A and B are shown apart, each in its own frame.
Chain A
């Protein structure tokens, strides 16, 4: 009996050790793979940063991956304030502010409209509300190119063609489908009894929205802001179609800087300009990224 028992524990030990080894091997493989992928994705950024800090001479003679012999910020200054986008040579600065002026109100307005739409579609159902929601969803899948001509006509009719408010309108209209979808799916998880209770308490449509629904919304607001900001800041097609000299967003200016150089191609300036153009979205992700994941996965409000 004892013998058998001894034998058993011995077998158990071996099985345990085997399992442990297998787990360690698996972990090792997993981390190796993850690190390789991380390196692969970091490579372009590395090349960009390194190139932007080199002088033109060094770029021409050195290798793509080597670190700069001497750190040189002059290309950043040039990209910001004196690179040429065609005839003008003012750098990215004015266009950067164009983009800021465009993005912030467009993000804020489309988020607020999406929140109210979602609140209505989730909690104040009416006849045809599902059809309306389906149509709005449909709007998310319409390719940008399809709306270019009708949008141009509309902006012309409204007499805001080529202006920043005009471009803002395009982004708001195009964004409402997405923002509505986000908020609707978030609010649909909140029990409808909450609205009923508030109605009995005497609160009206907007009171319920601002006092009860908006305070539970930060996770989905963050998701929406990140999504909308990325979309609007990074947009090129609408920017290039509906703006004119002086109202162009940063993406269009970046394109012009890269394409408009005559003679020597200033790779360091191009790289610095590209990084400057990408910095704000990067910043938004770093600041709000953890809410992004939380907002995508969570959503249900308990209590």
Chain B
């Protein structure tokens, strides 16, 4: 189900603006994906991600900029002529039509011959394992089944671009994980190009080949899941992506030869000092206040794998949260709560002093005022 024409970019959004009256919803959005890409737009509610998707679908008019699908400008092109299919959060199944009619409605409107409709319906129904439901009404289906029907309706279209608007938000936690895997599998088997909106950063990480993190109508960062996770462009992205989120610790940097000394104050005891093997630009002799970003998995117990680097410091344990596979241990550094991810069988009690091992190879350094990444 790949597109017949091999355009360089299956979708490109250039300098897109959207405002409702005086309120700017989208500001100068630039995104492009290649055929087979799975683009996830992620951000907190109100960040403009759904509006962007609606603009791509043609359901909302943009106020500036251009959208191209398959290299073709979409200015003034109505949704039905954009060669797209869309799956909605509320499934948006036509309530009085049977599942079969729901799936074939679009083909009926476009005047596809009856036999062809039936052939495609059967093909898609088999793929999604909903063949036994075709004569039922949407109200007789469970949430997961409705979700499959909604996807079936998109799949029969065989479009250049699939658009998903928070398709899993209405499902319960267990089903959501199942359907997530299913969507991933569909993407792999069909090689389809997909734009997917979600507020769930785990969905974004697991599904995407490319993630765009948005806030207040502005793209904060675009990149592969790996880039977004390991090199967040600013403190917002660092905090938003990952669970538990990245520790953001106020610290002082000082250049020491080709290395960098990191000093972190503590309110109730002497501060700690760590050495980073990298040189940070712009330190020029003096010291500099920064925010140190460290993922919980980069702080472990002294017996863990981080220990060999020798970056060990003794900290007071405030809270211990066993999570089965890991134990999260919270301490206080630089006046902030800092979560460490330790071995599941670590023997630590709240109030203890314990050795924490810091792996600084994946540390991020942020500018305190702007929140932008320095290194």
A interface residues (Cβ-Cβ under 8 A, vs B): 191, 193-194, 196-203, 207, 211-212, 215-216, 301-303
Pick the interface stretch among B64-72, B91-99, B365-373: B91-99
The smallest C-beta distance from A125 to any residue of chain B, in angstroms, reads 12
Pick the interface stretch among B30-38, B103-111, B201-209: B103-111
Instruction: Check A207 against B92 for contact (C-beta < 8 Å).
Output: no
Instruction: For B92, list chain A residues within 8 Å (CB).
Output: 191, 193-194, 196-197
Instruction: Check B93 against A303 for contact (C-beta < 8 Å).
Output: yes
Instruction: Check A201 against B80 for contact (C-beta < 8 Å).
Output: yes
Most-contacted residue by chain A among B85, B92, B137 (CB, 10 A) = B92
Say if the beta carbon of B139 comes within 8 Å of chain A: yes
Instruction: Check B95 against A202 for contact (C-beta < 8 Å).
Output: no
Say if the beta carbon of B88 comes within 8 Å of chain A: yes
CB < 8 Å neighbour of A215 from B54, B57, B90, B96: B96
Instruction: For A200, list chain B residues within 8 Å (CB).
Output: 57, 59, 79-80, 84-86, 106
B interface residues (Cβ-Cβ under 8 A, vs A): 54, 57, 59, 78-80, 84-86, 88-90, 92-97, 105-106, 109-110, 137-139, 141, 146, 153
25 A-B pairs in the complex with CB atoms less than 8 angstroms apart: A193-B88, A193-B92, A196-B79, A196-B92, A197-B86, A199-B78, A199-B80, A200-B59, A200-B79, A200-B80, A200-B85, A200-B106, A201-B80, A201-B106, A201-B153, A202-B109, A207-B109, A212-B96, A216-B95, A301-B95, A302-B139, A303-B95, A303-B137, A303-B141, A303-B146
Most-contacted residue by chain A among B57, B59, B93, B110 (CB, 10 A) = B59
Instruction: For B93, list chain A residues within 8 Å (CB).
Output: 303
Distance, CA A17 to CA B97, complexed state (A): 53
Distance, CA A212 to CA B97, complexed state (A): 8
Instruction: Check B90 against A199 for contact (C-beta < 8 Å).
Output: no
Instruction: For B139, list chain A residues within 8 Å (CB).
Output: 302-303
Distance, CA A203 to CA B153, complexed state (A): 14
Instruction: For A301, list chain B residues within 8 Å (CB).
Output: 95
Given A193-B90, A301-B95, A302-B139, check contact A201 B109 (CB 8 Å). Answer: yes
CB < 8 Å neighbour of A193 from B89, B105, B146, B153: B89
Instruction: Check A203 against B88 for contact (C-beta < 8 Å).
Output: no
Instruction: For B59, list chain A residues within 8 Å (CB).
Output: 196, 199-200
How many A-B residue contacts, CB cutoff 8 Å?
Answer: 65
The smallest C-beta distance from A133 to any residue of chain B, in angstroms, reads 20
Q: Tell me if A's interface is mostly helix, strand, loop or mixed.
A: helix
Most-contacted residue by chain B among A191, A196, A302 (CB, 10 A) = A196
The smallest C-beta distance from A85 to any residue of chain B, in angstroms, reads 48
Instruction: Check A199 against B79 for contact (C-beta < 8 Å).
Output: yes
Distance, CA A72 to CA B86, complexed state (A): 70
Instruction: For B90, list chain A residues within 8 Å (CB).
Output: 191, 193
Distance, CA A201 to CA B59, complexed state (A): 12
3 A-B pairs with least C-beta separation: A201-B106, A202-B80, A197-B92
Given A194-B92, A216-B96, check contact A202 B110 (CB 8 Å). Answer: yes
The smallest C-beta distance from A221 to any residue of chain B, in angstroms, reads 13
The smallest C-beta distance from A247 to any residue of chain B, in angstroms, reads 41
Distance, CA A17 to CA B153, complexed state (A): 60
Instruction: For B153, list chain A residues within 8 Å (CB).
Output: 197, 201
Instruction: For A193, list chain B residues within 8 Å (CB).
Output: 88-90, 92
Distance, CA A289 to CA B189, complexed state (A): 54
Which chain B residue has the least Cβ–Cβ distance from A202? B80
Distance, CA A198 to CA B57, complexed state (A): 12
Instruction: For B110, list chain A residues within 8 Å (CB).
Output: 202
Most-contacted residue by chain A among B94, B95, B141 (CB, 10 A) = B94
Which chain B residue has the least Cβ–Cβ distance from A194? B92
Instruction: Check A203 against B95 for contact (C-beta < 8 Å).
Output: no
Distance, CA A211 to CA B94, complexed state (A): 9
Which chain A residue has the least Cβ–Cβ distance from B87? A197
The smallest C-beta distance from B162 to any residue of chain A, in angstroms, reads 11
The smallest C-beta distance from A279 to any residue of chain B, in angstroms, reads 34
Most-contacted residue by chain B among A193, A202, A212, A301 (CB, 10 A) = A202
Instruction: For A201, list chain B residues within 8 Å (CB).
Output: 80, 105-106, 109, 153
Which chain A residue has the least Cβ–Cβ distance from B78? A199
Instruction: For A211, list chain B residues within 8 Å (CB).
Output: 94, 105
Instruction: For B86, list chain A residues within 8 Å (CB).
Output: 196-197, 200
Instruction: For A212, list chain B residues within 8 Å (CB).
Output: 94, 96
Task: Beyond A198-B94, A200-B106, A203-B80, list 9 extra A-B contacts (CB 8 Å).
Answer: A201-B153, A203-B109, A211-B105, A212-B94, A216-B95, A216-B96, A301-B95, A302-B95, A303-B137
The smallest C-beta distance from A301 to any residue of chain B, in angstroms, reads 5
Which chain B residue has the least Cβ–Cβ distance from A218? B96
Distance, CA A302 to CA B93, complexed state (A): 10
